[in-house]
Structure 1
C-alpha cells in the first residue's frame, strides 16, 4: 500500500507541482495588485458634476425610447462623452443609453465617441484609439457582458492607462494601468489560468481549473501522509537526521511537514472558489424581486432630474450621478458625489440614510409569511467586512452601519441592506455561508483579527506562500530529475 502512496504522489507531483508554484507565486502578487477593474469610486471621481442646463427629457420618455416593452433593472443619469445620458440596464440583456437632451436612443459606440469618453475621463491626457474587442486579457469578467463589444483607448498619461469603453452606452467601464497590466501577467491572469482562455478552451476552462485543483489537493494530501510516515520521532536514521533525504528532497520533506496542511487548505479552498458541481448553489434561491415592490417606471418618481439636482445643491451636495431606486414600492432618487458619498430624495426631502423601519417593511415583503429578524450592524463581523480595494471583491463598498435581515425559512436566508441607498447588497443562505468558511477564510484568510492588524496579515500570507513555494519548487526539481 505504501508503494502506491509514493507512486501516486510522485507522478501527480510531476504533473502538478508547476501549477502549484505558479499559484503560490501569483498569489503573492495578487495581495497587492488585483485584476484590472474600474471601481465605483474611480468611476465617480472621473465624472464631472451633472450639468442639466437645457436638459432633460422626462424619465417616461427615456424609458419609452430605450425599450417600451421591458422594465429596466437599474436607471442612472450620468455624463458620457461630455453629454448627459440615461444609462439603463436590463436583466439578461445589453445596456442601453438614451441621450438625455434629445430623448433619442443611442446606437453602438463608434471610435470618435470612445475617444470623447476617454477625454472626459482624463481631459489632460492625449488619447489614441486602439480598436474594438469582444474580449481580451483584461476583460474576461462576466460583469462586462452587457457592455460588449468594447472600444479600447490608450491614454498617454503617467500611468499608461488603457481604457475600455462600452460599445452599448459609450461609458468607460474598465481602466487598466501599465503597472496593473504588467504585474497581472504574473498575478491574477496567471493565477486564474487565464492563458487557457481565448485559445479555444473557454468552454473547458472551468473544468480544467476544478480538476487540476482537485488533483493537486489529492497530491498534497498524499505528500503530507508520506512525510509523516518518513519522519522518525524516536530513532534517527544512520545519518543522525530525522529525515532520510538530502538536498532538494530534504527541503521537500521538511517543507511539506511544516506547510503541507496549509498548502492543502489553500489548494482545496481555491477549488471551492470555482463552486465545483454547484455545491454552494441554493436548491431554492431566494427571489428578492418583492423587495423593490414593483417595476421601475416613471410614475413612481414625481420629482424630475432637474428638481432633484436642485434640491441636492440646496443642501450643498454636488451630484455627479443620479440613480432611480424603488424600495418597497416607494421611489427614491439617489445622488452620488465624486467621493462616493450619497444622499436620497423622497417627497422633496433630502435624507442621509433611510429609516430602519422602511427597509424592514420592504424586506418582509420578500417572505411575508416567514418570521424575520433584523439588526443594525455598527461594526464588521465574520460575514460582513471590508477588504482592500485590489482584492477580488474589495471594490464593493461595505459601509457601516448596515442592516442585516434574517429569515426563518428552510435556507436560513440573510439579507444585507445598505441604509444609505437602500441597495440590497447580497443574499447569504446556508450554502453561501459555507462558502465563506471554505473559500474566503481558508484561501485569503479573511479573518478580522488578521485583516484589522496589517501588516500582520501580510507577513502571515507571505510566509505561508514562501512555504508553499519551497514545497512546489523542490517538487519540480525532483520531478524533472525523475523524468530525466
Structure 2
C-alpha cells in the first residue's frame, strides 16, 4: 500500500525540518541584527564627508590638459576631480564603454597616470580619510575577505587594508587601482556582522570550494524552506481541532509543551515565516527572473554627445572660486548637449556650474522634460513630479541593504507605454537620470523589499511601530524554528539509538 498524501506531508515536514530549522533560527536572529547593523559599505555621505576639501588656489591642470598628458583622449563615461588618492588631487576618469573596472587616476598637478597603489599611497589615503592625529597601521593587501564580498569592489581589487587607531577601530579598504578609500568597517560593525549579514547571507561559504555553488545553495535552501513551512502550516491546520477538543481538552493533540509551542507557533507565525523565506529567495533574483530584457535607454537624449574634455573648459581654480569653500569633488557631466560641472560639498545638493564660464548654471526644466520623453522609442503614458517619496521611489537607512544611495527630491517620473511598462526618474536640478524601473523590478520590490523588510512607507514613517512589529514576528519565527530544531534532533536521536539497538 502506498503512502497517502497526508502521511507524505507529515514526513516531508518532519525530515525537512530537522535539516532546515537550524537555518531558520539563524536567519531570524541574524535578521534582527541586520535591522540595525548592515553589511559594511562606504556611503556617498561618508565618502564625501571624509574627502579633504579641494583648495581653490592649488595649481591644478585643466581636465583636457591633464588627460592628454596621461594619454587619455577618448570619450569618457565619468570624470571627477577630488583629493581622493593619497590625499592629493587626482582626476578619476572612466573611459566610455568600460564596465566593471575602476577609473584611471591621473595626478591633477603633473598629468601623470598613477601606477597601481602601493603601501605608501594606501597609507596616505587612509591618513587623509581619517584626518589629523589618527594613527594607522598597514595590514597588507587582500583580494577578498569577509567584509568585501560586494561585486561592486571587483574593479578595485586587490584591496589594501589599513587599520586606524581611532575610537571606532575602523578598518579601511583602499583601491589597488586608484588609491581611493572604497570601504570602511568600524570594529563594532565588523563584530556584529558575524552575527548579522555575514552569517545571514551564508558568506562563510564564500571564498571556499563552495564559492561557485553559493547562489544555488542559497536558492535551493530557500525553496526547500518555503515548501517545508507551507507543508508545516498545512499539517498544523489538519491537526488543530476547531469543533471538538481532544480528550486532554486542548485543541492541539500534542501533550508535550515543546510540541504544543511548535504547533501553535506555526499557526501564528507560519505565514510570516514562509513570506520571509520566500522573499529572501526573491532577493537573490533566482535564475534572473526579474531581468525583463528591457531595451537600454537612449541616454544621448539627455546628454547629447559623449563627455569629452575641451581646452575651453574652465580651470579647476576658476570653478572652485565660483563654487566657494568646502568643495570636496568636481564632477563633469553632460546635460542637454552642454558640459556642466557638479561642485559637491560634504553634504547637500551639488552646485551646478557651466564648464566653460565657471558660473552657476540652471538646467532648462522644459527642455529636460522634453528630452526625457525620448529616452525610449515609445509613447509616454504619464509624467509626474514627485516632491515626496512613494512606494517605488523612497530612501532607506544608510545601513540597510538598499540604503546609502542618494534619492534626491523633487524628481520627474516619466512612465512609458512600452511592453515593459518602464518608468524613469530624472533629477531636474542636475539633469541626471537617478533611477529606472519596469514591471519586473516593481514586482521584485513587492516580492523582496516589501515582504522581507516591510518597506512600506506608512510603517517606515512611524517608527518604532516598524521595529515593534518586526521584532515581534522575528521572535515568533525564532521560537518556531528553535522548537523545531529541538523536536527534530530529539526524534533523530531516538531513531539513531533504535537503529544501533536493532540486531
TM-score with structure 2 setting the length = 0.92
Q: Give, in whole Å, the separation in 1 of the partners of 2:238 and 2:460.
A: 36
Q: Show the counterpart of 1:255.
A: 265
Q: Show the counterpart of 1:93.
A: 101
Q: Show the counterpart of 2:279.
A: 269
After superposition, the C-alpha distances for 1:39-61 in whole angstroms (9 at most, x for unaligned) are 11111111121015342222123
Which is higher, the Rg of structure 1 or of structure 2?
2
Q: Give the conservation status (yes or no) of the 8 Å contact 1:301–1:332.
A: no
1:344 to 330, 342, 352: 352
1:109 to 85, 99, 117: 117
Q: Show the counterpart of 1:77.
A: 81
Q: 1:66 to 1:268 in 2, by over 3 A?
A: farther
1:14 to 9, 13, 18: 18
Displaced runs of 4 or more, over 4 A? none
Q: Which runs of 5+ in 1 are unaligned?
A: none
Equivalences for residues 34-433 of structure 1 within 5 A: 34-65=38-69, 68=72, 70-80=74-84, 81-89=86-94, 90-122=98-130, 123-245=132-254, 246-290=256-300, 291-299=302-310, 302-313=313-324, 318-346=326-354, 348-351=358-361, 354-368=363-377, 370-371=379-380, 373-433=382-442
Q: Give the conservation status (yes or no) of the 8 Å contact 2:136–2:165.
A: yes
2:479 to 467, 470, 475: 470
Q: 1:142 to 1:233 in 2, by over 3 A?
A: same
Q: Give, in whole Å, the separation in 1 of the partners of 2:60 and 2:194.
A: 44
After superposition, the C-alpha distances for 1:306-342 in whole angstroms (9 at most, x for unaligned) are 22111112xxx53111101112322110011112431
Q: Give, in whole Å, the separation in 2 of the partners of 1:113 and 1:471.
A: 52
Matched residue SS, 1:64:
helix
Q: Which runs of 5+ in 2 are unaligned?
A: 494-503
Displacement, 1:393?
Answer: 1.8
Matched residue SS, 1:73:
strand
Matched residue SS, 1:234:
coil
Q: 1:445 to 1:300 in 2, by over 3 A?
A: farther
Q: Give the conservation status (yes or no) of the 8 Å contact 2:380–2:414.
A: no
Q: Give, in whole Å, the separation in 2 of the partners of 1:459 and 1:234.
A: 34
Q: Give the conservation status (yes or no) of the 8 Å contact 2:62–2:314.
A: no
After superposition, the C-alpha distances for 1:64-102 in whole angstroms (9 at most, x for unaligned) are 355636533211100032211011234233321000000
1:5 to 3, 9, 17: 9
Q: Give, in whole Å, the separation in 2 of the partners of 1:281 and 1:52.
A: 46
Displacement, 1:482?
Answer: 1.4
Q: 1:132 to 1:358 in 2, by over 3 A?
A: farther
Displacement, 1:355?
Answer: 4.2
Q: CA RMSD in A?
A: 1.7
Q: Give the conservation status (yes or no) of the 8 Å contact 1:270–1:443.
A: yes
Q: Give, in whole Å, the separation in 2 of the partners of 1:197 and 1:66.
A: 38
Q: Give, in whole Å, the separation in 2 of the partners of 1:60 and 1:368.
A: 34
Q: Give, in whole Å, the separation in 2 of the partners of 1:370 and 1:190.
A: 46
Q: Give the conservation status (yes or no) of the 8 Å contact 1:111–1:129.
A: yes
Q: Show the counterpart of 2:28.
A: 24
Q: 1:469 to 1:67 in 2, by over 3 A?
A: farther
TM-score with structure 1 setting the length = 0.95
Q: Give the conservation status (yes or no) of the 8 Å contact 1:364–1:372.
A: no
Q: Give the conservation status (yes or no) of the 8 Å contact 1:163–1:174.
A: yes
